[in-house]
Structure 1
Amino acid sequence: MSDIYKTLEVIKERHWKEKHEENRGEYQEDPSCLICYRVKEDTEPNWFKKFWEIFQKAMLVEMNYNKNTIVKLAEYIVLTRKDKDDRYLLNRKKRVKELEEVRREGEKLLDVIVVSIRYKNEPDYKKIWIISAIKIICEHYIFDEEDKLLIDEDKTRENLLGNKELIKYGYIIEDDELDRRFVELEEWLEDEKIVTVEFITQHTMRYFKKILHMEEKMNFQRNIKYRWCDSNKYPESWINDDLTNEIIKRIVEMKSFIREDSDVGELESSNDTESSEEGNEHFERILRNYWIENNYEIDITEVK
């Protein structure tokens, strides 16, 4: 949050003055407000308490959460759950397209989660690190037979604090995101009539992740089988330095194919966050609707 902390502090101060001191009808929204989105004492779901304990150990800074944090985290976990559909598309391009909407919605939820947290002091980590940490924790949540959220705290804590990619680069690239970026590169190679990829080896994606981190070049290229290539322009394409440079240039131009669908500016004026009472109802509705859709009968008080 070191990259947006000052902006969030300005939002917090404006909100407090306009909403709570001057009682204006129109005021600056602050997703981290502990009054507007107050959490009643001892009403936090057990799954969230475990999340917060693990998250705090990684952040090493005093923080507070509110109703927004809990609601949006619940939405994100349900949205990205891996066991909700046993069908797995082998076609990488089709799979990426089907997951695109999930990715966009997930990134928006993560944005709200991050800015809903009230940080007492400026964190050492950037926003992308915090989002990566949240993703790692959420990947470990599973639903039991009664659709209650469970998590192995020790394993999750170990995987988060010992994540080599997060430690080394300050962020992670998940498998689905890695697929999306490779498809974007693949489509560019085809559109520019440079090469057409026939298939990739088991090592290709590992090398591709490294090349996104600017560590590997030639190993990635050697692990792709090309169906078509302009042999006059790129002879022996699998080891051609000119083609390597074109690929590297494209990755740099596209900033490793990172997509940013929202930012703090959008959240400043967003009406996506709700009042405290509306937040309570919204949280219950999210979970209730989910269980109804999956033919489960449950008392909402069981998840509080």
Structure 2
Amino acid sequence: MEWYETWRVDYENHKLRHDENIRNVDIDELRGENITCEICYPIRDTPEVFKKFWRILQKFEYTIRDYNAETIRALINLLSINSEERNNYTKGKTRDALDIIVESIRYLKQPIMREKGLKIIIIVVARDCIENDKEDETIDRLIGNEELIRYGYILEDWDVNIRFREFYEWHKVAI
């Protein structure tokens, strides 16, 4: 992933601040500094919908290790966005929720998938596996997908439609 090395260094530096100042630093003082931190964002309750999402997501990216309360909150926010708006993962609330999900996950090592691929997989899992309850069909379609393996992401039909719509809008203005 493009951002992984920066993410890893920031997380390790944040953890050092906790370790060095364990008795002197208030958690509220460090909260917001790094959304990956399991100390700043402890899990109090894990909804069943998140457990299902997490189990499926781990099938696509084996480097995913753990999550925190921010990951759960962001998924709930993502699921509350209407499906048409959620399909455009590069804008607005959808982009914000996906950024938080991807950045709040702790990884074992650098992920195999690109950041874009992971975000698309998150949307597909939310839409097809959580909302439409097509878990088996979706997993069969995506595991071993050559495009996903080769490029680290896939282009879903809705993604292609969004790109063409943006192109046509640009083309109208350019003419």
- With the shorter chain as reference, the TM-score category is 0.7 to 0.9
Distance 2:137 2:82 in 1: 20
Residue 38 in structure 1 maps to residue 42 in structure 2: yes
What TM-score, normalized to structure 2? 0.79
Equivalent residues of 1:69, 1:112 under 8 A apart: yes
1:192 paired with 2:171, answer: no
Aligned partner of 1:69 in structure 2 is 71
| Number of the residue aligned with 1:135 | 123
Provide, for residues 213-248 of structure 1, a one-character-per-residue CA deviation record: whole Å limited to 9, x for no partner. xxxxxxxxxxxxxxxxxxxxxxxxxxxxxxxxxxxx
Residue 180 of structure 1 deviates from its aligned partner by: 3.2
CA gap of 1:181–1:34, structure 2 versus 1, over 3 A, is same
Provide, for residues 256-285 of structure 1, a one-character-per-residue CA deviation record: whole Å limited to 9, x for no partner. xxxxxxxxxxxxxxxxxxxxxxxxxxxxxx
What pairs with 1:55-94 in structure 2 (closer than 5 Å)?
55-81=57-83
Deviation at 1:152, TM superposition (A): 3.8
User: Cα deviations across residues 167-188 of structure 1 (Å, max 9, x unaligned)?
Assistant: 3432233444433322332233
Counterpart Cα distance in 2 of 1:14 and 1:48 = 28
Query: Is the CA contact 2:88–2:94 (under 8 Å) kept in the aligned structure 1?
Result: no
- 1:213-292 alignment, distance < 5 Å: none
Answer whether contact 1:58 1:161 (CA < 8 A) is retained. Answer: yes
Structure 1 gap segments, 5+ residues each: 83-95, 143-149, 194-304
Cα distance in 1 between the residues matched to 2:94 and 2:32:
24
Partner residue in 1 for 2:143: 161
> In the TM superposition, what is the alpha-carbon distance from 1:102 to its structure 2 partner?
9.2
State the match for 1:151 in structure 2.
Answer: 133
**Alignment-derived partner of residue 3 in structure 2:** 4
Q: Secondary structure at the match of 1:107?
A: helix
CA RMSD of aligned residues (A): 2.9
Which amino acid counterpart does residue 79 of structure 2 have in structure 1? Answer: I
Deviation at 1:51, TM superposition (A): 1.3
Larger radius of gyration: 1
Cα shift at 1:137: 0.7
- 1:139 alignment partner, SS class: helix
Distance, in Å, in 2 between the alignment partners of 1:20 and 1:72 is 27
Give aligned-pair identity as a percent.
33
Task: Tell me which residue corresponds to 1:29.
Answer: 33
Distance 1:28 1:15 in 2: 11
For 1:123, give the aligned amino acid.
P
Q: Are the equivalent residues in 2 in contact too, given 1:72–1:112 (CA < 8 A)?
A: yes
| Residue of structure 2 in register with 1:113 after alignment | 101
CA shift, 1:13, in A, is 2.0
TM-fit CA distance, 1:7? 0.4
The structural deviation recorded for 1:118 is: 0.6
Unpaired stretches in structure 2, ≥5 consecutive residues: none
State whether residues 88 and 159 of structure 2, in contact with CA within 8 Å, keep that contact through their aligned partners in structure 1: no
Give the Cα–Cα distance (whole angstroms) in 2 for the partners of residues 8 and 119 of structure 1: 10
Q: 1:165 to 1:135 in 2, by over 3 A?
A: farther
Letter in 1 for 2:105: I
Number of equivalenced pairs: 168
CA distance, structure 1, for counterparts of residue 89 and residue 75 of structure 2: 17
